[in-house]
Amino acid sequence: MNSVNRYFVNFFKGLHSLLVGMRVTLRVFFRKKTTECYPENRKKLVMFDRFRGELVLLHDSQNHHKCIACGICEVNCPNGTIRLTSEMMTDETGKKKKVLVEYRYDHGSCLFCQLCARTCPQQALDFIPTFEHAVFTREKLVHKLNRDGSTLAPKPVAESITV
Ligand code: SF4
Ligand code: SF4
């Protein structure tokens, strides 16, 4: 292909690409606009289902969670956002088992990748769609996710787990 032909081939390829881009631009330009009047609408504002606002350890109405302190979420977290503290306890049958003491989550360093929740063998974690998290110091973004006085759910695992 000589240089004149190549010039025209490249020209029409570029023109085609430009028109494809403009088609998208024009479509959006004439679409009905949606304006969220935030923060005036903060009480009514609903985030979309898959929005990842913050990580929570799920608890049921009896203050039970499902975390067995295996540490898989902590190991899989790419950012060191999760810090677990656990201790060994002896149950009523004399068997030793690990129990969760504290589940620390640093919201400020979370990537919202969901690796922790997806790899948890107990489905003990989930994300909730909260979205107002502004604080004045980074320390306030570090949360304890296990509630005070909460314990591991006895088997079978309690149903209707809520946040
Ligand atoms: S939340 Fe899940 S993965 Fe993390 S320590 Fe508890 S049981 Fe293991
Ligand atoms: S979402 Fe990702 S970065 Fe955040 S705590 Fe879970 S694994 Fe770590």
How do residues 40-77 score in pLDDT, each as one tens digit?
Answer: 998 888 888 899 999 999 999 999 999 999 999 999 99
- CA atoms within 13 A of residue 71's CA, in its CB half-sphere: 8
Rounded CA-CA distance 16/24 in Å is 13
The larger pLDDT score, comparing residue 36 to residue 55, is at 55
Closest to 89 measured CA to CA, from 68, 62, 58: 68
Q: How far is the CA of 61 from the centre of ligand 1 (A)?
A: 20
Ligand lying closest to the C-alpha of residue 103:
1
pTM for the model: 0.76
- Going by pLDDT thresholds of 50, 70 and 90, the confidence category of residue 156 is low
Which of 31-40, 66-75, 136-145 has the lowest average pLDDT?
31-40
Q: Is 67 helix (H, G, I), strand (E, B) or coil?
A: coil
Is beta strand 64-65 parallel, antiparallel or unpaired with respect to 151-152? parallel
Amino acid identity for residue 110 in this structure: C
Confirm or reject: Cβ of 77 under 6 Å from ligand 1.
Answer: no
Mean pLDDT (the chain, rounded) = 92
Return the bridge partners of 86, or none.
100
Confirm or reject: Cβ of 122 under 6 Å from ligand 1.
Answer: yes
Confirm or reject: Cβ of 157 under 6 Å from ligand 1.
Answer: no
Q: What is the per-residue pLDDT for 154?
A: 87
Site residues for ligand 2, CB cut-off 6 Å: 55, 76-79, 81-82, 110-116
Query: Which atom of ligand 1 is nearest the CA belonging to 66?
Result: 7
